[in-house]
Amino acid sequence: MNISSNVTIARGVRINTYANIMHDCRIGEFATIAPNAVLLGRVTIESQAYIGANATILPGLKIGRGAVVGAGAVVTKDVHDYEIVVGIPAKSMNKENR
């Protein structure tokens, strides 16, 4: 894993192998970052969120509490609390957010 400068990691966070977390990111409690995930600069991951393997989160975005980003997704906009997003670009799987 690669963790850059000025990154805040709360308690209970799991960061898997080959994950890349760039500058000024913040990761909330009990979040999971799967293998090969990439968080570009200034990304905020709220508590209990899950970032899937090979997912990419573009700079300055927020992933809400309990949200799930599917494997290989490219996130281009903020993800709401408890929302599930998949694909390139990532789109919501939750009916209320479609």
Cα–Cα distance between 5 and 13 in angstroms, integer? 17
Q: Pick the catalytic residue: 4, 16, 23, 24?
A: 23
Distances (CA, A) of 89 to 8, 69, 76: 26, 11, 6
**23 in active site:** yes
Locate 1 and state its tokens. 């894993």
Catalytic residues: 23
